[in-house]
Structure 1
Amino acid sequence: MGRVVLSVFNEAEAKTLLDSLTPKQVEVLDLLVMHRTTKEIAYQLDIAPNTVDQRISAVREKWGTTNRKDTARKYAELLEACGKTTCGISPVDDPGDEEEATDQDLPVDPVFVLSDAGLMASHPDWLDERVSRPSGLEAFDAKFGRTGRLVAILVLAMIMAMTLASSLAIADALGRLI
């Protein structure tokens, strides 16, 4: 069955907490709620990653949240209590809209279905090509983690040791021929 989440904030409390934010903190929180990393937020806003962390820390101090995840969750709840959304897409259909959407499945349980991908692809922020994908060692870390990196370093070290040992053996054999 679907889960109904009720906001713990009334609209006046939510508006007061949201008004305590600076416009720059709001920019960062909007992207944080969209699950962007510090690097991605910094790149998109053209600021230093340290500045992103400082803005999030300032909000955490104001609101008394313990981490980024709690801060993002609280921000989303406050926006919901005020009737606002983070992506510009209404979270709930208007009650006056009696037309059913034919391009989206509406299952009983909230499950991602293939037709939902059409909605995601149409959002311009999700198609932002400036957000970099991890490459090189970052991609390796994303796929295998820290342990994978350690194993790769050990394997490369063994290959280098074997190459060095075989080079010395060849040099020794050539030295005996001369």
Structure 2
Amino acid sequence: MMEGSQSSSLAERALWDRLTGKQRACLDLLLERKTSKQIALELKIAKPTVDQRITTARHILGATDRDDAALRYARLKNIYDRITCDPVHIPPVPCFVPSDFADGDPSEPMQANARGAPVGSWGQGLPFGKVGSHDHGSFVRLAIVAAILVAIVIFLLGGLGIAQALTRLISG
């Protein structure tokens, strides 16, 4: 009895191997009870191409019609279309690392660069200190914006004064 089942499985394996990837793609959609037109739209090929692939697969499988081909293909697919080894590397699930700080945020910078200036938040190590940091209150932010606006106005007025002085020099 083992010989008969072994030759049967070899014959089935030969049938499976004779089916091309394109025929299998059509048969997979046929298993979903799609029409040739729907299969053609999904695979972006012509309807006669779908019909030809299904007819060829039907002849390979020895099926009498499309439904019989789908049944035979489904049986073979369950046996021979199994993934034995998935080569895709799945990274480990990220996990939280406990913080050594009470609030989870260091109060002092952790490192210093070659000149000894602290490394970390934007603006640290600059002459203006922590002006660019994000931990200021509303009043401090408003004061910073006002100081920047005053500096822009002074710059523009100075430029206008220089332009007026140059105009007087040129005109005489």
- TM-score, normalization by structure 1: 0.39
Larger Rg: 2
- TM-score when normalising by structure 2: 0.41
- Higher RCO (CA-CA < 8 Å; seq separation 6+): 1
